[in-house]
Chain A
Amino acid sequence: GENVEQHPSTLSVQEGDSAVIKCTYSDSASNYFPWYKQELGKRPQLIIDIRSNVGEKKDQRIAVTLNKTAKHFSLHITETQPEDSAVYFCAASRGYIPTFGRGTSLIVHP
């Protein structure tokens, strides 16, 4: 089955800095890579996703890049704000059932 590794487990940045979270996956047939944000005590929410036929996707301050050859993908958040503080999960799937990484706790200091 799919195995997703996510790093770092904790990321602390100053407000306004950029944050990068990296994930690797094992199944070369995986073709869908979503990212979810989970604030403390709340449900995971889909913030951005990318399919394997695209190398990069942006949505305002958030971008995701995918390197299929190396089987890794990354989440980039620019101009971080305190409200970006949350746990971020990457995931990978070849169909409807993604395998999730263990999460990165992002702390943005004002």
Chain B
Amino acid sequence: DTGVSQDPRHKITKRGQNVTFRCDPISEHNRLYWYRQTLGQGPEFLTYFQNEAQLEKSRLLSDRFSAERPKGSFSTLEIQRTEQGDSAMYLCASSDSLNYGYTFGSGTRLTVV
């Protein structure tokens, strides 16, 4: 296990299309987080899972965004009807039960044209 993996690394899509990103956390980590980062900003929280349960969602997460973690392992983040404002780096992170510190993935850079 080499860390948190995200796929794809880059995604270019046309406005209005749907996109889905995948995150594979560190295997022994039961907590998984999605963040969004735009240029010159810190990561902004989107949603959080403990095992398969989605425990918290940000107000930033409009109804076009949905996330799942069906078996408490990998997670997917889907954006429907993408808009240019969705262009950002989408970061996934995981942590275990004992530590608050995150291990981040390398992110998926989304460009909506």
CB pair B103–A46 under 8 Å, yes or no, is yes
Q: Tell me the nearest residue of chain B to A32, going by C-beta.
A: B100
Interface size on A, residues (CB 8 A): 23
Choose among B4, B44, B100, B106 the residue that contacts A34 (Cβ–Cβ < 8 A).
B100
CB pair A100–B44 under 8 Å, yes or no, is yes
Stretch of B15-23, B35-43, B65-73 on the interface side: B35-43
A96-B104 CB under 8 A given contacts A44-B43, A44-B91, A91-B42: no
CB pair A46–B101 under 8 Å, yes or no, is yes
Q: Tell me the nearest residue of chain A to B50, going by C-beta.
A: A96
Q: Across the interface, which residues of A come within 8 angstroms of B106, CB to CB?
A: 42-43
Nearest-CB distance from A43 to chain B (Å)?
A: 4
Q: How many A-B contacts at CB < 8 Å in the complex?
A: 51
Q: In whole angstroms, what is the CA distance A4 to B104 when docked?
A: 20
CB pair A43–B100 under 8 Å, yes or no, is no
A49-B101 CB under 8 A given contacts A97-B56, A102-B40, A102-B41: yes
Interface size range on B against A: 20 to 34
A43-B101 CB under 8 A given contacts A96-B31, A101-B42: no
Q: Per-residue 0/1 for A85-110: is the Cβ within 8 Å of any B Cβ (1 yes, 0 no)?
A: 00001010101111111110000000
A103-B104 CB under 8 A given contacts A96-B48, A97-B33, A97-B48: no
Q: Across the interface, which residues of B come within 8 angstroms of A34, CB to CB?
A: 100-102
Q: Per-residue 0/1 for B41-74: is the Cβ within 8 Å of any A Cβ (1 yes, 0 no)?
A: 1111100100000001000000000000000000
Nearest-CB distance from A90 to chain B (Å)?
A: 8
The verdict on B107 contacting chain A, using a C-beta distance below 8 Å, is yes
Q: Tell me the nearest residue of chain A to B107, going by C-beta.
A: A43
